[in-house]
Amino acid sequence: MLLTILRVAYFLVCAGAILAYIQTEDLVTGAQTGLPYVIEQHKVASFFGLLLISQVVTIVDLSIRKKRIDVISAIYFGLLIGVLLAYLMNQALTLVVPSSNAFHTVVVLLTLLIMPYICVSLILQTKDDFRFLIPYVEFQRELKGGRPLVVDSSSLIDGRLADVIETQIIESQLLVPDFVLAEVQDIADSGDKNRRIRGRRGLEVLSKMQQSYADVRIHETQRTDFKMMTVDQKIVALAKQLRGGVITNDFNLNKVATVQGIPVINLNDVAAALRPRYIPGERLQLRIIKEGEAPTQGVGYLDDGTMVVCENAAHQIGRELSVIVTSVLQSSAGRMIFARMVFRAGGEGGNGEISES
């Protein structure tokens, strides 16, 4: 509604200004001496012609539905600087080409055309680095938490991404491109039962992510920007365009994005990094420091502060034992390891040959 009012007001202002221009000489002097001969002889045709030219910008505005704020800002800023430089250049050139010179108007016209173009072109080509020249001036919208992360279909179908988001470890904006959403929907509508289940799971995970605290958005793209590309190529191109990263489980996509210098969060690598340091059956050396809650338990600590509870080690306080891990308890409060002593043939832990019991 607001845009409609703006366009109607612009049309009326243009019509009034053009009409005033055509009729200026009649109202002021009663003579037609200041108008070009063509306009003076064909007032009606000139009025509609000039009005049509003025409405070209409205037609362009209507034809371009999606506009990028960084491009628009660069154009506005470039025009402002270009007009200012053109004015200063014209003032300097007045000494060389005075206003009485026949070429003065031509010089003014050329500078007003050339300087804005040069400024807009330079800013469009360097808009990503422009904030380093002028602090606090940036043509790219500031996103929550830094660079955005583009999510692919494998991460949605996997489901662990929703659990990772619940931990509030990811602060960046998560973008699900429309072509990724279309891919998941196609999988959900597949005739194969297993693929259909996976696709529906991906949609459920996306819905859960949108209901969480994280900033998860569906990113609409223009088909012309990613024409004749596979889904993986589109994801890499979009991440590069947004200067962001990629979240995926796909090994090939991970490698392709990494080669092109795009940051990648692989959920499999995250899971591997967070797996327990010690697994059941692994042996370690432990010094018993104190008794545990149970009468027969001994307690020791690893170098990283993890508490180890060893069965039947209450009488081994002060000694260093070889123990074998039986289970690992992981919670939000930390990690606790349960173990038992590795007994040796010929006596208690610490003498004879090793034998598990």
Question: Which CATH number fits the domain that encloses residue 327?
Answer: 2.40.50.140
pLDDT of the chain, 357 residues: tens digit per residue: 777 888 888 889 888 888 887 776 544 445 554 667 777 778 888 888 888 888 888 888 788 776 677 777 778 888 898 899 988 988 888 888 887 777 777 788 788 888 888 888 887 777 655 544 444 455 444 445 568 899 998 888 888 888 888 888 888 888 898 888 989 899 988 888 888 888 898 899 888 888 887 888 888 887 766 777 888 888 898 888 888 899 988 888 989 998 988 999 888 888 877 776 778 888 888 899 998 888 889 999 887 778 899 998 888 889 998 999 998 887 766 778 999 988 754 444 444 434 444
In a domain, 331, yes or no: yes
Assess whether 255 and 304 both reside in one domain. Answer: no
Last residue of a domain, one of 89, 104, 132: 132
**Tally of domains within the chain:** 3
State residue 298's pLDDT score: 92
Give a yes or no: residue 141 inside a domain. no
Give the pLDDT of residue 24.
64
Predicted confidence at residue 135, as pLDDT, reads 46
Q: Residues near 206 by Cβ (< 8 Å), separated by ≥ 6?
A: 156, 176, 181, 184, 216
Tally the C-alpha atoms within 13 A of residue 81's C-alpha that lie toward its C-beta. 13
Same-domain status, 265 and 290: no
Q: Are residues 69 and 22 in the same domain?
A: yes
Pair (121, 176) in one structural domain: no
Whether 155 and 258 share a structural domain: yes
Question: Residue 219 domain-assigned?
Answer: yes
Residues 59, 107: one domain?
yes
Task: Examine the domain organization and report whether 89 and 167 are in the same domain.
Answer: no
Q: Please say which residue of 105, 132, 159 terminates a domain.
A: 132
Q: Are residues 125 and 8 in the same domain?
A: yes
Is residue 137 assigned to a domain?
Answer: no
Measured CA to CA, the distance from residue 302 to residue 128 in angstroms comes to: 48
Boundary (domain end) residue, out of 253, 273, 293: 273
Task: Print the domain residue range for 344.
Answer: 283-355
The structure's pTM equals 0.51
- Strand 298-301 and strand 283-291: the pairing is antiparallel
If asked whether residues 13 and 95 sit together in one domain, one would say yes
pLDDT at 128: 57
Considering the domain architecture, whether residues 233 and 339 belong to the same structural domain is answered as no
Cβ neighbours, 10 Å, residue 340: 18
Residues 240, 342, single domain; the answer is no
